[in-house]
Each structure stands twice: as structure tokens, then as C-alpha cells.
Structure 1
């Protein structure tokens, strides 16, 4: 007899959404939400604002597989805005290396650049309100044992953003 469903603890909404969206993206576009979410880091500051991965096309026939591993790299279709496509064409070798480094295997061997508008990411809403009182003391206690100043500052910024009262 099958046991009834029981909650196993809190899960992030992104985990639930990715579990639902990834199979659809993989079937229709051959990409995952991890690639889409990490695109800004992969593309770098030169191309993050003007490009977006659209689709990965994989070879269909076994005769197109050239190595013995049973895997042939695909072609990544990238949307790029206007004249920046020319610069992306010149930097595509480096971008392909970054994409393959992200996947951990040679997933892509070619880029196909399509010129079209790329929607801008939402604007940053500004700095969070500084913490005061009990919240500030709690955050200080959480990061007090960290010796690395850069890490301590980054965690303090993150904690402030998470623990600050939200504006409506």
C-alpha cells in the first residue's frame, strides 16, 4: 500500500518551478533553467545585457555522432540585439568555451546568432533599508566568527537584504 504524501520540510519555490519547467524547456528548446539563470555570468559583462540563449539543437541521426561517446555537441541559438551581433561573432569561441565549462562537457560546438530585441532584466530597486535593533544584533552575531573581511561584508549585505523590512 502506498504511503500518503507528507511534507519533507521547506523547499524553495525555484526548486519546485525548475522541476516543472526544466522538462518543458529540455523538450522544446534543449536548454535548462540553470543555463538561463546563469547566462549573465556565462556571457560576461560585454554580452549579458544584449544576448539571450534561445535554443540548443542536437543532431538527430546516429551517423552525425562523430566521437565514440555517443554524444555530438549541439548548436546554441543566441538572440542578440543589433550591431552587437558582430562583436558576438568575433567572441563566439570564448563564449562556446564558457558554455562548455558551465556544462562540464562539450555541449556546444557552434553558435547561431539571431538578431532580435532582447528584453532587459528588471531594474534593481535600490538598497535595502538598514537593519536596526534586534535584527541588526542578530545579523552581527551570525557573521562575527568570519575572518575574511570581503566574505563578511558580502554576507552582511546579503543578510541585510534578506532581513530588511520590505517596502510596499
Structure 2
């Protein structure tokens, strides 16, 4: 633990994540970061009809030496609605790559799809106000030097969400 201690208020999300993450990790093998980022990981095609449920990690073999006993990839169970599961089956290779990219290491080796209703998470999102002309120009100027198109688009979405949520 660091010697730096923060004084003052904490964000409720930080406190909630510290309370929820250990329970999720113990019960389902996942964390709130994966659930919170699922829309970006799954992409527009599957964000509205899928939900990560749990990660099943393989049991560790006691015979393995400490050098070879790395983290073995697990199986991610995803809830998917109806016929979209067929399309998800065909796209699971790409989805595994996205998930492993999110974790930063090969955490998932396989996806298990369970067909069941998925409650939409977008019901409670506030509508963002359109940006004013000066705000749009300022945001555009902030991202002009970024060469990677995907990064530039992601930062533009983030900027629109932050600026658009202000009154």
C-alpha cells in the first residue's frame, strides 16, 4: 500500500468497485471493469444482446513447478439472446482477441454461449446534449494530432460524452 493517503471525498464508483470486485471475482471470476467495458469489447453488433456471465479458470496442477505454473486461459460464459447466438458463434475468434486485448494477456481461450434474455443496460443512460459549435471545434482541435483513427474516434466519443453531459 502506498504511503500517500487521499483526503476528502471518494467517488462512489471507486468504493463500490472495491466492494463488488472481490465478490464478483470469487463467484464469477470477472470484475466490474470487464462488465463496464463490455459494450466496447463486444462491439455494436453484440453489445445490446450479450452479457458476460462468468469466467471459469482451469484448476492448477500441483505437479507444475513455479516456473511453468503461469495463468492458464479460462472459458468465458456469455449470455446471448436468441438467434444472435449463431452470429456470435461465428465471431467468437475476434471477440476472444478483443477480450484478451482488454486484459492485456491471453486470459480467455474459449467462449461458451448460453441462450437467455439479456436485460438492456442502456435504459438509465442520460441523453447527451448536442455540442455547441465552439465545443465541437475545441474537441476537434484536441484530437487533430492523433494519427491512429480508432484511438481518435474513441477519444472523440469520450470527449463528446464528457462535454455533452455538462450543463
Deviations 1:120-141 (A, max 9, x none): 123344344989xxxxxxx97x
TM-score (norm 1): 0.74
Distance 1:152 1:86 in 2: 32
- Which one has the largest radius of gyration? 1
Corresponding position of 2:148: none
1:147 to 141, 144, 147: 141
Structure 2 segments unaligned to the other structure (5+ residues): 145-154
- Paired residues, what number? 148
> 1:75 and 1:154 mapped to 2: Cα distance?
31
Alignment partner, residue 12 of structure 1: 11
Structure 1, unaligned stretches of length 5 or more? 1-5, 132-138
Cα deviation for residue 74 of structure 1 reads 0.3
Please provide the CA RMSD for this pair.
3.2
**2:157 pairs with 1:161:** no
TM-score normalized by the length of structure 2: 0.74
Cα deviation per residue 1:38-80 (whole Å; 9 max; x = unaligned)? 0000000000000000000011131797x92521100000000
Match of 2:127 in 1: 126
